Amino acid sequence: MSRTYPYKAWALLPSFKPTEIELKAAYASYSHQDYGDVSVTGKVYARSEIYPTKEAAIAGGWARVKEQEATLSKWAESLRKKKVALEKAAS
């Protein structure tokens, strides 16, 4: 993807707070030729972590929350089954 640097974009902090970032260059590694971009602070952002607008960043955050909820639901079901198995073994 061709971009003109520097440019501003949006990303989510670990707390999921949307924040505007300024990107200064493309980033590539030996295994990923088009991995992402580097911010003026030196942090590397994957393409999947960069959003063009604040609204897109918020929508991306909601999508990640839904994925995490689905994962937690699967873990809860697995834990429930393990508890049942232990209760059966104890009786």
Of 20-29, 56-65, 70-79, the least confident = 20-29
Mean pLDDT for 23-45 is 88
Task: Kindly list the distances between the CA atom of residue 77 and the CA atoms of 3, 70, 86, in Å, as whole numbers in the listed order.
Answer: 45, 11, 14
For 4, the token pair is: 């003109």
How do the domains of the chain map onto residue ranges?
7-90
| Helix, strand, coil distribution of the chain in percent, nearest 5 | 45, 25, 30
pLDDT tens digit sequence for 51-70: 999 999 999 999 999 999 99
